[in-house]
A = this chain, B = another copy of it.
Amino acid sequence: MSTQPARGMRDFLPDDVRRRQYVMGVIARVYEQYGFAPLETPAVENIETLLGKYGEEGDRLIFKILKRGEGAATGQADLALRYDLTVPLARVVAEYRATLPKFFKRYQMQPVWRADRPQKGRFREFYQCDVDAIGSHSVVVEVELLAAACDVLARLGFADFTVRLNHRKALSGMLQASGVPAALHGETLVALDKLDKIGPDGVTRELAERGVAPAAAAALIALFSDGAAGNDAILARLEAVVGGDEAGATGVRELRAILALAAGTRAAARLRLDPSLARGLSYYTGAIFEIAVPDLAGSLGGGGRYDDLIGMFGKQAVPACGISLGLERILVVMGERGMFPPDLALAAADVMVAVWSEARLADSVALAAELRAGGLRVEVYPEADKLGKQFKYASACGVPFVAVLGDDEAARGEVALKDMRTGVQRSVPRADAGREMVAARGQAQGE
C-alpha cells in the first residue's frame, strides 16, 4: 500500500505547519484591523451550487463526490469539493442576508480543491486567503481592500511588490474605442490577458484568429504596451481614448477616485494603472487588481469588483468586491528569500526532562508538570534509557535545555540543568528551575 499522499496533495510536517500558521496569522490580524470578520464554509457543497460558475474548464476540474446508499451504483455525483471561496460566499450572503450586517466584511482562509494536472508549485489542494466586502458600490471598498492587502504584504516583509490596477468598464470603453465589436469583447480580453506571456506578436495573431480586425488589434496593443507612463499620464490617455463611451467614462472616473482615496493609505505607493490587466474570471464588473513581485512569474494575489455574482443565488443583486491572496505562492517566495522569522524553526520544546532511572519516572513526570505550570514547553523522555542517549536525542531535536533529577539532586531538592548550546551543567533548587530557563529563553530570543 502506498504511504504517499494522493497525487497533487501534500502532508505538512510541523515546520511546514508553523510557517503556514505564521503567514495566516499575519493575514488574519491585518484583516481584523480593517474590520473584517472570519467566515468558514463546508469543504463539500451541493454539486449544483458549483457547476456552471467557473466556466467549462472549471466544471471539468471540480472534484465530484459519489452518491451514497442506493445511488452509489449509478455512479452519479450529488456533492462536490469547494473550488474557490467566492461562490460559497455568494451562497452564504444569499442565505443569511437578513441577519448579516448591511456591509458584510469577511475574510476566509480555507483549502480549495481543483483536479488540475499537478506541476511545480501547482497543487490539487491549496489554501486561498480571501477578503471581501459586500453591500456597497462605493470605491471606498476597493481602497480599503487594497490598503489591507498591501498592509499584509508589508507586515510579512515584502518591500518590492506592486499592485496592477485596471477596470472592466474602462477596458470595455477601450475595446469599443478601438473598434472591437461588443460580441468579441470577452474573447479579446482573454487574448490581451496573455500580453505578458506571449508578447504583442502573439496577441496580434490570437486576435486575428478570433476575428478582430487588424486595425483594432494594432490600436489596442499600442494602448496596452505603454506601461512605463505614470498613473496620471495613463489616466489622461484613457480618458481621451474612451471619450464619450458611457461605461468607459465610468470606469476611468472610478479609477481616478480609487487613486485619490488611496493617497492616505499603505496602498498609495504600490498602485500602478495598467490598461492591459484583464483578469481571467468572467464575473468581474468593475475595478480589477493583481499583485506582483519581480521574481515571480504569476501573481501573489488578485481580485476585483463583482456586482452580479451574488444575485445568481438570491432574489436580490448585491454589490461585492474582494481580493484573494495565494498562500502557497507567498510561502514559496518567502521561503526562497529567507523571510520567515528565525524563531519559527525553534524546537518543539524549551526543555526535555530526562529520566535518571525507572524509580525516578514518577518524579520526572511531576517535574514536567511543575515546569509547564511556569509557562515552559516541556518534553519528557518517555523511558529510563542511558543518559547519554537521552542527551543525544535532546540535541537532535534542538531542545535548548535538559533537566535531570539524579538521585543526589533529588535528595538535595535540586535539579541538574544542562544548557545544550554551551554544554554547561549545574544544579539549581528545584523550585527555581523553571524561572532559570524562562529567563534563559528570554535572553536567547533577545539575542
Residue A168, interface by CB 8 Å: no
Residue A63, interface by CB 8 Å: yes
Residue A261, interface by CB 8 Å: yes
CA distance A282 to B143 in the complex (A): 57
**Which of A34-42, A292-300, A322-330 makes up part of the contact surface?**
A34-42
Identify A33's interface contact among B133, B363, B372, CB under 8 A: B372
Question: Interface readout for A14-40 with B: 1 if CB under 8 Å, 0 if not?
Answer: 101110110000000000111111111
Identify A136's interface contact among B33, B66, B101, B383, CB under 8 A: B383
* Known contacts A49-B1, A264-B369: A115-B44 contact under CB 8 Å: no
Residue A200, interface by CB 8 Å: no
CA distance A113 to B49 in the complex (A): 19
The answer to whether B106 touches A79, judged by C-beta atoms less than 8 angstroms apart, is no
Residue A349, interface by CB 8 Å: yes
Give the interface residue-count category, chain A.
35 or more
Q: What residues on B are CB-neighbors of A312 within 8 Å?
A: 1
Residue A447, interface by CB 8 Å: no
CB pairs A–B below 8 angstroms (12 shown): A1-B49, A11-B92, A12-B41, A13-B96, A13-B99, A14-B38, A14-B39, A35-B377, A42-B125, A140-B365, A261-B362, A264-B369
CA distance A271 to B9 in the complex (A): 40
Given A4-B95, A17-B38, A264-B369, 7 more pairs with CB closer than 8 A: A10-B42, A13-B96, A14-B37, A36-B348, A75-B76, A138-B382, A263-B366
- Counted per complex, copies of this chain come to 2
Residue A314, interface by CB 8 Å: yes
CA distance A72 to B80 in the complex (A): 14
Question: Interface readout for A127-158 with B: 1 if CB under 8 Å, 0 if not?
Answer: 00000010010101101100100010000000
Residue A77, interface by CB 8 Å: yes
Q: What residues on B are CB-neighbors of A43 within 8 Å?
A: 43, 81, 111, 113, 125
Residue A441, interface by CB 8 Å: no
CA distance A362 to B263 in the complex (A): 8
The answer to whether B111 touches A382, judged by C-beta atoms less than 8 angstroms apart, is no
Residue A331, interface by CB 8 Å: no
Residue A422, interface by CB 8 Å: no
Residue A169, interface by CB 8 Å: no
Residue A65, interface by CB 8 Å: yes
The answer to whether B11 touches A138, judged by C-beta atoms less than 8 angstroms apart, is no
* Known contacts A140-B361, A365-B264: A38-B21 contact under CB 8 Å: yes
The answer to whether B68 touches A115, judged by C-beta atoms less than 8 angstroms apart, is yes
Identify A44's interface contact among B14, B113, B372, CB under 8 A: B113
The answer to whether A95 touches B11, judged by C-beta atoms less than 8 angstroms apart, is yes
Q: What residues on B are CB-neighbors of A372 within 8 Å?
A: 33-34, 151
* Distance in Å: Cβ of A318 to nearest Cβ of chain B: 12
The answer to whether B348 touches A32, judged by C-beta atoms less than 8 angstroms apart, is yes
CA distance A363 to B265 in the complex (A): 10
Q: What residues on B are CB-neighbors of A20 within 8 Å?
A: 40
Which B residue's beta carbon lies closest to that of A313?
B3
Residue A102, interface by CB 8 Å: yes
* Known contacts A14-B38, A63-B65, A349-B35: A6-B44 contact under CB 8 Å: yes
The answer to whether B66 touches A64, judged by C-beta atoms less than 8 angstroms apart, is yes
Residue A393, interface by CB 8 Å: yes
* Distance in Å: Cβ of A287 to nearest Cβ of chain B: 14
Residue A46, interface by CB 8 Å: yes
Q: What residues on B are CB-neighbors of A151 within 8 Å?
A: 372
Residue A269, interface by CB 8 Å: no
* Distance in Å: Cβ of A444 to nearest Cβ of chain B: 17
